């Protein structure tokens, strides 16, 4: 819960965490991955795609910290890893 609380604080403007958005569109997880890659120009590694497909779990984190910072999207199949990657974005800011 500490990771989520920290991410909420850092993404003060807008934070959206979705689980399995492909299911609400009644499409397969593969189609959901393809849609995210096409719409957002995201490249997912083979390992992440494989994990999403095998687990049938797709986690999408959208964060828009402020009007002056770029928003970003994290896609993964493991919520803990997704939270770590989102927090890493802020840890690596210059």
Task: State in Å, rounded, how far the first CA of the chain is from the last one.
Answer: 26
Q: What is the pTM of this model?
A: 0.84
CA 52 to CA 22: how far, in whole Å? 11
Dump pLDDT digits (tens) for 17-45: 999 988 888 888 999 899 888 888 888 99
Give the model's pLDDT for residue 94. 42
> Structure tokens of 12?
């003060």
Task: State whether residue 75 is helix, strand or coil.
Answer: strand
Give the model's pLDDT for residue 68. 61
Give the model's pLDDT for residue 89. 87
Q: For residue 63, which of 14, 2, 18 has the smallest C-alpha distance?
A: 14
Give the model's pLDDT for residue 69. 66
Instruction: Report the percentage of the chain scoring pLDDT > 70.
Output: 94
């Amino acid at each position: 819960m500490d990771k989520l609380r920290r991410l909420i604080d850092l993404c003060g403007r807008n934070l959206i965490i979705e689980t399995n958005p492909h299911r609400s569109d009644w499409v397969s997880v593969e189609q959901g991955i393809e849609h995210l890659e096409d719409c957002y120009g995201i490249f997912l590694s083979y390992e992440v795609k494989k994990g999403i497909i095998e687990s049938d779990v797709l986690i999408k984190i959208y964060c828009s910290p402020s009007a002056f910072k770029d928003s970003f999207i994290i896609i993964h199949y493991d919520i803990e890893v997704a939270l770590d990657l989102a927090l890493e974005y802020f840890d690596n800011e210059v």
